[in-house]
Structure 1
Amino acid sequence: MPECPNFFEVDGKWVLIFAPLELEDRKAMYLVGDFDYDAGRFFPQTVGEVDWGLDYYAPQVFKDDMGRTLMMGWMESWSFHPWYLGNAKNGQNPHGYVYDCSEIGFNGSISTPRTISVCHDGKLKFDPVPELKTLRKDPRTQYNMMVKAEEKIPVTAGDNVHCEIFAAFDLTQTSADVIGFGLRSSREHETLLEFDLAHGEIIFDRTRSGNKSAVVRKCNLESVRKDELTVHIYMDSTTIELFTDDNRTVMTNCIYSPVESDGLYLYAKGGDTLVSRLQTWGMEKVNQ
């Protein structure tokens, strides 16, 4: 059953965004097509995922005073609610995705705002709003950094917890099968974000992220067929938002690692990779 529908026009096309219930792990989907207003009929032509993450649900779409089509979503899952913990104990939650968020004093948050536009092939792209740049501090930039096979290169991005990361990988100078980021790393906790070039997949591994929702999330990687892979990451205390494939692929996931888990590094498997540009920033608080 689809819920939380949004039906709107953008770039000359009509879009239906909805949250499907009981459709495995698909949290938010879209249809793009044409709408016959007189007949009241929608003719979808393209289908896609709004966000491939485990924790992006019920997105809401609106227009701002500049005419932009904007979207924000709920970053959380039902399985993180205290009452869901009780359901799991009663055997009513077959997945067992449980973390009692009441222990940290809040439950869920709202994603970064994203602009929506239609690509030439009818797919949607979701760009972080440029206003997020006003939160940047402590900028760092590196060029032409070679990451050797099985090597871990430490990275600094503000305090490595509340930060923004942009990386461009030159795939013409890459022999690695997998390139990735170790995020929120410590002796006990770690989140891995991998780009499997051999199989064309993005892999988000939170089996050691500090919550009982210890699962791995995968989706297709379009950029494996291109000369460059760009990766844009926003991290906050309990969330990681990924934008890649020219922002046609987005993945949002929650983690519950302690703030002391602040290690950050780049790595490669099965070969080397050239990072043509790596930019990092810390992020200012918005609730001063």
Structure 2
Amino acid sequence: MSNETMRRAIAQAEQHIAQHAPEVAANAKMRQRYHFMAPCGWINDPNGLIYFRGQYHFFYQFNPYSGFWSMMHWGHAVSDDLLHWKHLPIALAPSESYDNHPQGGCFSGSAIEKDGRLYLMYTGTANNGNGFEQTQNIAYSDDGINFIKYEGNPVIEPPEGVPHDFFRDPKVWEHDGQYYVVIGSQKDGRAQALLYRSEDLLHWEFVNVLFESRGEWGFMWECPDFFPLADKWVFLCSPMGAGERTTVYFVGDFDYETGRFTYTVTGEADWGFDFYAPQTFTDASGRRIMVGWANCWDWMPFWKDWGPTYREGWCGSFAVPREVTLADDLTLRIVPVRELGTIRTPDGTDANMLTLADGAETVLHAGDGVSCELQFVIDLASTSAQRIELTVRRGEPETDGTVLRTIFTIDLQHGWSTIDRTESDDWSRGVSRAPLRLSPDKRELSVDVLLDQSSLELFLDEGAVAQSMNIFAPTSANDITVRAIGGTATLLNVHGYQVENISE
């Protein structure tokens, strides 16, 4: 009976999507062109990312009924190339006492294959009169499309001392025939990651506190991920209460016997304002792929209008899928997946070398300036400029003289990369900063800029720095210029590309 309730909820949601998605696609001006989106409504965390039976599967937090966050479902889509997606029926809908509430539902989780069957492990959030309670639950599918909730749910409940509304986002994996899951939690106001073990994905035992904050890393780690990379382990999360940090990583060692992780290196997976709750998985070739939500909670308080896209009947997209590797210094290198090259065509500036005079603007071209990519390398050995300023999504002067623009600055004098979006549109605010690793013997600095209708993603220094921001400029704001300040600069291998519109 319980799964029949879920099937009815899914049918109702699918009917709403069929009625409203065409209208959203036809009328929305801020829809992304090559980034993953839901057909309509609200989207946040990527869930259950997995390569299963020869296809990539994206599940995601989804409210099909509104551009506001609300009762969470799991949307579902599949792809052959991480770029072109086919939306499938909703995988999970609120239906049980442990996951059915207007401000709860089927929260985030992960996926794993066992004996040819696809299992989803997710957080159920409900309020049955004792405040919000979060538990871990199992659903499974034999065809990878239609899911059944396990009748023995919940399979893990909050342990003693853990607040019942701070126990969520399970990330599951298999090792030597046993299954492990890490869950975000909190104790005494400090973030924790709890480790559990199972032989069948249904019956779990607590192992240890995998990793914990002493206060310096916030009060809750949302969407924790834990995975091996080369000969190390990486703990990835989005910390709450840690300032501007949206996604951080820790690299270190893990002992299966004790269930403890100790780190030696930490860093930011993305320094921008709009990259949150990423999840990783491995594909058939062994690549570690990371996908994040291209938004963040800070600028979307529950009591205010949630921005331009909400008014169009949708909100949220995913950042481009990224490949993650480990550098010799144990920091991560994060770059767009190579598949992105299949949907871009050379269209714009194509120069082996450009010399920028002090203070003079140079116009660059990359496709239509909206759905495009721009790549170049700064020749540090022959550059004397204190900083290089790249202006994108620039429009004609408004009637009051203001000019829409987003300014990306590489400050070579002080070792910073900044993105200033205070003049990008009538909504976005803030300047994000990321440190650059500059040294006297460093000869080049690579720059890769990805633009879409409402986003900007930067990858610097061969992926040592990623920086992602949302902007909501009109299509007419599409000019690109660059200038050197405080000296001259030399740019090498300057290439502009048009990126195809493949999202609808």
Whether TM exceeds 0.5 here: the answer is yes
1:14 aligns with 2:244: no
Alignment partner of 1:205 out of 420, 433, 447: 420
Identity of aligned residues (%): 34
Deviation at 1:224, TM superposition (A): 5.7
Match of 1:263 in 2: 479
- Equivalent residue for 2:366, pick from 136, 157, 168: 157
**Which whole-Å CA distance do the structure 1 matches of 2:303 and 2:443 have between them?**
45
1:133-179, CA deviations, whole angstroms, 9 ceiling, x for partnerless residues? 00112344202211111111111100011001111111111111110
Q: 1:167 to 1:104 in 2, by over 3 A?
A: farther
- 1:1-288 aligned within 5 A: 1-81=220-300, 83-85=302-304, 99-140=307-348, 141-186=350-395, 187=397, 188-223=403-438, 225=440, 226-288=442-504
Cα deviation, 1:14-68, whole Å, max 9, x if unaligned, reads 1100000011110000000111111111111110100000000000111111111
Distance 2:352 2:297 in 1: 42
Are the counterparts in 1 of residues 346 and 495 from structure 2 also a CA contact under 8 Å?
A: no
TM-superposed CA distance for 1:222, in Å, is 1.1
Structure 1 runs not aligned, ≥5 long: 87-97
Supply the distance in 1 between the matched residues of 2:312 and 2:364 (Cα, whole angstroms).
Answer: 28
Distance, in Å, in 1 between the alignment partners of 2:291 and 2:344 is 20
| CA contact 2:270–2:466 (8 Å) conserved in 1 | yes
Cα distance in 1 between the residues matched to 2:232 and 2:328: 11
Matched letter for residue 382 of structure 2 = Q
Q: Separation in 2 of the partners of 1:283 and 1:56?
A: 21
Contact map agreement 1:179 1:195 (CA 8 A) in 2: yes
Q: Which structure's relative contact order is higher, taking Cα pairs within 8 Å and 6+ residues apart?
A: 1
Supply the AA of the counterpart residue of 2:435.
Answer: N
CA distance in structure 1 between the partners assigned to 2:471 and 2:368 by the alignment: 17
Alpha-carbon distance in structure 1 between the residues aligned to 2:457 and 2:223: 21
Structure 1 residues 138 and 104: alpha-carbon distance in aligned structure 2, compared to 1, 3 A threshold: farther
Q: 1:63 to 1:241 in 2, by over 3 A?
A: same
Q: Which amino acid aligns with 1:263?
A: D
SS of the aligned residue for 2:340 comes to helix
Q: Taking structure 1 as reference, are residues 277 and 138 closer, same or farther at Cα in structure 2, changes over 3 Å only?
A: closer
Counterpart of 2:321 in structure 1: which amino acid? P
Instruction: Please tell me whether the aligned partners of residues 169 and 277 of structure 1 are also in contact (alpha carbons under 8 angstroms).
Output: no
Structural RMSD (CA)? 1.5
Gaps of 5+ in 2: 1-219, 398-402
- Aligned residue in 1 for 2:192: none
Higher mean displacement: 215-224 or 160-169: 215-224
State the TM-score, normalized to the length of structure 2. 0.53
CA gap of 1:81–1:106, structure 2 versus 1, over 3 A, is farther
The alignment's TM-score, normalised by the length of structure 1, stands at 0.92
Aligned residues: 277
Amino acid of the structure 2 residue aligned with 1:238: S
Once the two structures are TM-superposed, the CA of residue 127 in structure 1 deviates from its matched residue by 1.8
The superposition leaves residues 82-114 of structure 1 with CA deviations (integer Å, 9 ceiling, x where unpaired) of 84416xxxxxxxxxxx73432344212101111
CA positional deviation for 1:80: 4.9
Whether the 8 Å CA contact 2:380–2:445 is kept in 1: the answer is yes
- Give 3-state SS (helix, strand or coil) of 2:278's partner: strand
Counterparts of 1:75 and 1:280 in 2: how far apart (Å)?
23
Cα gap change, 1:3 to 1:82, in 2 (>3 Å):
closer
